[in-house]
Amino acid sequence: MGVVEGLLALGLILNVCVVCNGGTSSPFVRKVEKAVDMPLDSDVFAIPPGYNAPQQVHITQGDLVGKAVIVSWVTVDEPGSSEVRYWSENSDQKKIVEGKLVTYRFFNYTSGFIHHTTIRNLEYNTKYYYEVGLGNTTRQFWFVTPPEIGPDVPYTFGLIGDLGQSFDSNKTLSHYELNPRKGQTVLFVGDLSYADNYPNHDNIRWDSWGRFTERSVAYQPWIWTAGNHEIDFAPEIGETVPFKPYTHRYHVPYKASQSTSPFWYSIKRASAHIIVLASYSAYGKYTPQYKWLEKELPKVNRTETPWLIVLMHSPWYNSYNYHYMEGETMRVMYEPWFVQYKVDVVFAGHVHAYERSVSAKTWSLKLLALQFLI
């Protein structure tokens, strides 16, 4: 599958300034052998018991400022309810919010019933419990909302990309879960299931990936970025709508930041302003993504969110021979803006090898405090 073995899963701790001096950052050495996918009967893909039991439960931030959560899940026996019951840890008052349901077809595959429900008006820094599957098999999960946005708000992000569903993918997710620093939210930089590596883009592998990652993403938000393995463009089997499985399964709050597309958007969380960009949507001058980013960057308020983080899939800087310079045209378009608005760090995936830059510079002699990690 080519998924990176022991892929990067690190914590980014805001309000801690670390100077990168190069050198070895990990004793990990990548194996030469190609990663092997876990078989569908692996325990990590187990279907939860019970009639119409919700599966593939996942959450992400549901608004601009961290006071809403999008809860998504799949039912397979019948549509069932799109309601979510939720309550705070210190309250007996339970509320119910209604969502919506979608399905899709991809070649000879028909999806289950995909539910998306947004819980709004949450309190900051509060643990909430929530239940899905009301009326049939009910399952309960929980999450913790972020602290109120502000300049002196510590927060720990995990960083994962190009995960897939290989044996090494399982090691990666376990590594993140067991990290003593305990990430609070994952910044996911694209390439989720790798279902497109299977004949006819076998969408059963989208279902198995959703069940595999549920153990983390049902309890903390993963902030989604689309990668090349989400495109799923396959005209040879009649599938000509790009990103069809991804956009049906994974919703993001793009409208909250005045974006016109789920592939580029922004959120604020703790002391960070996070911008998600689309490597595989048009980004040239006059395009919707270009116009949106041109308006978005001046909105960053450093007195409120001193950290400006950008997520994308294809890196702009890469010394590896695979995918070399694939992000160059986007770099040419947007790097001057990143310099002008003093982006603190850029996280990318795509290249299955870890690299980080020292302070980047454009093709002048002026050193800049802009770092790129892939």
Most confident stretch, 293-302, 313-322, 364-373: 293-302
Give the whole-number percent of the chain exceeding pLDDT 70. 87
Please enumerate in sequence order all residues whose Cβ is within 8 A of that of 319, keeping only pairs 6 or more positions apart, or say none.
355
Report the C-alpha gap between 197 and 32 in whole angstroms: 20
Of these residues, 58, 116, 273, 323, which one is catalytic? 323
E strand segments, the chain: 10-13, 55-61, 69-75, 83-88, 95-98, 100-102, 105-106, 109-110, 113-119, 127-132, 139-144, 156-160, 185-188, 222-223, 265-269, 272-276, 307-311, 345-347, 371-373
* Residues contacting 290, CB < 8 A, separation 6+: 282, 283, 284, 333
pLDDT band for 21, please (50, 70, 90 cuts).
Answer: very low
Kindly state the tokens that stand for 154. 């510590």
Return the structure tokens found at 260: 């016109």
Rounded mean pLDDT of 267-295?
Answer: 98
Indicate whether this model's pTM tops 0.75.
yes
Q: Of 316, 300, 309, nearest to 350 (Cα)?
A: 316
Cα separation, 253 vs 237, whole angstroms: 31
Rg, the chain, Cα only: 20
List of residues 6+ apart from 230 with CB closer than 8 A: 190, 191, 192, 243, 245, 246
Whole-number average pLDDT of the chain:
91
Give dist(CA 158, CA 102) in Å, integer: 30
pLDDT band at 17 (very low <50, low <70, confident <90, very high): very low
Q: Cα separation of 4 and 350, whole Å?
A: 9
- Spatial contact of 133 and 155, defined as CB atoms under 8 Å apart: no
pLDDT at 18 over 50: no
The residues, ordered by sequence, that sit 6+ positions from 219 with a Cβ below 8 Å of its Cβ are: 59, 141, 142, 143
Taking a C-beta distance cutoff of 8 angstroms, is the pair 141, 129 a contact?
A: yes
- Beta strands 307-311 and 345-347, pairing class: parallel
CA-based nearest residue to 205, from 192, 187, 223, 186 = 192
Backbone region of residue 292 per phi and psi (left: phi > 0; alpha: psi in -120 to 50; beta: other values): alpha
Taken in order of first residue, the domains within the chain and their CATH numbers are 50-370 (3.60.21.10)
Q: Is pLDDT of 68 > 60?
A: yes
Residues 82, 80: Cα–Cα separation, whole Å: 7
Q: Pairing state of beta strands 185-188 and 156-160?
A: parallel
- Token pair of 309, please? 């983080």
Amino acid residing at 69 = V
Whether the per-residue pLDDT at 216 is higher than 90: the answer is yes
Q: Decide if pLDDT at 113 tops 70.
A: yes
Across the chain, how many H-helices and E-strands are there? Answer: 5, 19
Helical ranges in the chain per DSSP H:
167-178, 204-217, 244-249, 288-296, 328-340
Does 266 score more than 80 pLDDT? yes
Query: What is the per-residue pLDDT for 111?
Result: 98
pLDDT at 31: 73
- Give the per-residue pLDDT at 367: 36
pLDDT of 119 above 90: yes
Pair 51, 136: CB distance under 8 Å? yes
What average pLDDT score do residues 18-35 get? 62
* Interhelix angle 328-340/288-296, nearest 10 degrees: 20
User: Is 323 an annotated catalytic residue?
Assistant: yes
Q: Which of 148-162, 281-295, 352-366 has the lowest mean pLDDT?
A: 352-366
SS (H, E, C) 54-101: CEEEEEEECCCCCCCEEEEEEECCCCCCCEEEEEECCCCCCEEEECEE
